Amino acid sequence: MANIFLWVFIFSFSLIEYSYADSRFPILRDSKEQVQQGKLLYDQNCASCHKKNLSGTKDWRSVDSDGHTVPPPLNGTAHTWHHSDELLHDIIKHGFNNLIKNYHQWFNLKYEIVYFFNVYGLGQISNGNMATVLGIFEDQYKKNKPLTIVKPGTQTRRFTHINDTIDVCYYAWKKNRSKHYSISNRKSYTIIEVAKLFNTKIKFLPPREGERYASALTSMNLSNKVYKMFGKIDLKDYVENVVKNS
């Protein structure tokens, strides 16, 4: 079977639901606290695509102008609820890792999984809900606007250039070992440190619930070893070049 290189695994699963959620985090359907926490996480991470009322995209069986599948409804009118709560919980918690592993065991599907960390560079998104920190800062800088930072600004990230990311993706594909890889940078920067590299005005925004304070990969819930790779391009050099050519 030809090797399938997996950055995004499109979900279409009608076989035995053989993937189970971590028993340390059981689904507590009757817990009002967990339901409320889940709603908060949904609003922060899912609603921008699947909508506040779970309606998703109207014509959800279609694709967008780039050929990508569009977000389906989560209100029971699409395919999502054909699957058990346990499977959906597992996918949300672990991504498609366990599902992919099952396909590997059942059908000898070849795969490579690469975990990205705060990718920046050519093609980065600078506006909207999916905008990156560097994309926002670079866009604001070029428009002579203050760089906006969500308080406290001490959040750390391992910014990784797109070229380093592509190199590791190619390496993983070339090796063809059905392994897990991560690509990040050895150096962490706080958001404030990044903003100061632009040597311009800074504007602080109110703290945001659910804000991540660190960028890290945990292998706590992964049954496969993750091969950690590190990029060579330093964020400081990139920003200096942006400033110089703006």
In a domain? residue 25:
no
As given in the structure block, the two tokens for residue 174 are 């070339």
Q: What is the mean pLDDT of residues 139-144?
A: 97
Q: Are residues 67 and 168 in the same domain?
A: no
Return the amino acid letter for 100.
I
Which domain range does residue 37 map to?
A: 32-107
User: Rounded to an integer, what is the distance from CA 196 to the centroid of its chain?
Assistant: 25
Q: Which of 77, 107, 137 is the last residue of a domain?
A: 107
Q: Are residues 168 and 224 in the same domain?
A: yes
In a domain? residue 64:
yes
Q: Are residues 101 and 126 in the same domain?
A: no
Which range, 19-33, 70-84, 148-162, has the best average confidence (pLDDT)?
Answer: 148-162
Share of the chain above pLDDT 90, in %: 40
Query: How many domains are contained in the chain?
Result: 2
In a domain? residue 1:
no
Of 214 and 55, which is predicted with more confidence?
55
Share of the chain above pLDDT 70, in %: 81
pLDDT(42) > 90? no
Mean of per-residue pLDDT scores for the chain = 81
In a domain? residue 14:
no
* Best CA proximity match to 110, nearest among 176, 154, 62, 164: 176
